[in-house]
Structure 1
Amino acid sequence: MQAQPEKKHSSTCDSKEDSNKLESRYQFCGNALRITRDFSNNLGISAIIWESGLVLCRYFEQEKISFSGKKVIELGSGTGIVGILAILLGGDVTLTDQPVVLNQIEFNVTSNIPVSIIQRSKVSDLRWGKNEDQFPTDYDFILGSDIVYSPHDFPSLIKTLQHLSNQNTIIYISSKMRETMGAIDFHEKLLPQHFNSELVHRNEEKEINVYKVTKKAREQPSA
């Protein structure tokens, strides 16, 4: 499957300031999202709505992807926009990040998910390479947007992906292809050592790629 170019989309953004918080509004897959970034807790890059996340949301919209009845985990959720959309598209979703970010994610989940389906959401502390063994290995989907930016963390990220996935798991990773931050080496050299990786979408203007990734089958020992 060849990567599909970016199409026009229905998302819009209308931001307003409220003290130390900034709310941005988007629309994906017929769902209006209100995403708040909390600048009062020194969240740094976790208080940014990254273009890679928006591109992944648009990809779900364009491809009419459904997570209905599927078990999903999002890595490095940040504001939670991708995981929240996955819940609204039917998934049972665990949104994860470092402990300091969880309140921001929980606020956005509560603001966007109807009470009738809030039980399909969970917000959890997940630090790559440290506590992934506290999570199961039977996810149907793993989602990540702009999680490939620090070569120092690549081994831990690979270890986490290996633990969380099985041969039936579909992993979507949306990455800004920053050569200086190792994204090209990660996707072209490191990831293919452990996973099958297919470029399914590219935003030429933003230089963002979406990859569909699956775990390689273990080699059977020879008789």
Structure 2
Amino acid sequence: METKLQNNYADSEIEYILERSYEFCGQHLWISQSSNAQIGTSGFIWEAGLALCEYIEKQRIIFNGMKVIELGAGTGILGILAVLLGGNVTITDQPNVLKQIEHNVVASISPSCRDRVNIRALSWGHDHIQFPRDYDFIFGGEIVYFPKTYPLLIKTLQHLSSERTIIYLSSKMWQDFQINKFYEDILPEHFNCQIVDRNEENDINVYKVTKKVHALGISC
């Protein structure tokens, strides 16, 4: 499912409870959070997503001409930042979240740059095969929190990535959701994983992840 961007966005079914302005890498982003109960946790701006934006800023990462995908985008803040930094970006989440993402894309990205953003539904482990396998970057901000989805996320990351893909995941290290188990046991079975940034105050880790390659040079 793909959403085509409209220059004049309006949807009376969605209420926005809070609009915030952010600045990263010299770029201004206008991000709204929805009060629509059907969107649930996807309607919020999570600290771990902001931590990954801050990491991109600190590392001065530029995405000119790069192929980027954001998983579980929610408000779309990471994907929007990647577009503003020159990337060709696909922003994904469940179908009921896409209008919120579109709203924020229209608010933050000028019409002349919207041809570099694509908003699509992606259900991990199910329709991931409809997406390419050659992304340069994959982002996920606060998407590791529901253990039943961990195998589906791994399956999706395996499909979307090659040995040259750089994956950035950021998580608040909640004790209740086996997040440590995901990063220390589950993910390392298939990917190289290292902490590249940590916010001690908020207990947030940013991970850099790359696909493991078999000794014979065949991607796992």
* Same fold per superposition (TM over 0.5): yes
- 1:74 counterpart residue number: 70
Query: What does 1:1-20 correspond to in 2, within 5 Å?
Result: 20=16
**CA displacement 1:13-61 (0-9 Å, x = unmatched):** xxxxx96432111111111111011213531100110000100000011
Determine if contact 1:21/1:39 at 8 Å carries over to the other structure.
yes
**CA displacement 1:156-204 (0-9 Å, x = unmatched):** 0000000000000000000111121011000011100000011100000
- 1:58 counterpart residue number: 54
- 1:14 counterpart residue number: none
The answer on 1:182 being equivalent to 2:182 is no
Q: Sequence identity of aligned pairs in percent?
A: 54
The answer on 1:131 being equivalent to 2:127 is yes
Q: Secondary structure at the match of 1:181?
A: coil
* 1:195 paired residue among 161, 168, 191: 191
Q: Secondary structure at the match of 2:48?
A: helix
- 2:152 counterpart residue number: 156
Q: Secondary structure at the match of 2:163?
A: coil
CA distance in 1, matches of 2:144, 2:36: 26
Equivalent residue letter for 2:168: Y
- 2:5 counterpart residue number: none
- 2:8 counterpart residue number: none
Equivalent residue letter for 1:53: G
Equivalent residue letter for 1:92: N
Task: Say if 1:84 and 1:20 are closer, same or farther in 2 by CA, change over 3 A.
Answer: closer
User: How many aligned residue pairs are there?
Assistant: 204
The answer on 1:28 being equivalent to 2:56 is no
Structure 2: which 5+ runs fail to align?
Answer: 1-13
The answer on 1:117 being equivalent to 2:113 is yes
Q: Secondary structure at the match of 1:191?
A: helix
Equivalent residue letter for 1:183: I
Q: Secondary structure at the match of 2:176?
A: helix
Determine if contact 2:167/2:208 at 8 Å carries over to the other structure.
yes
Structure 1: which 5+ runs fail to align?
Answer: 1-17
Q: Secondary structure at the match of 1:180?
A: coil
Query: Where does structure 1 differ by over 3 angstroms across 4 or more consecutive aligned residues?
Result: 18-21
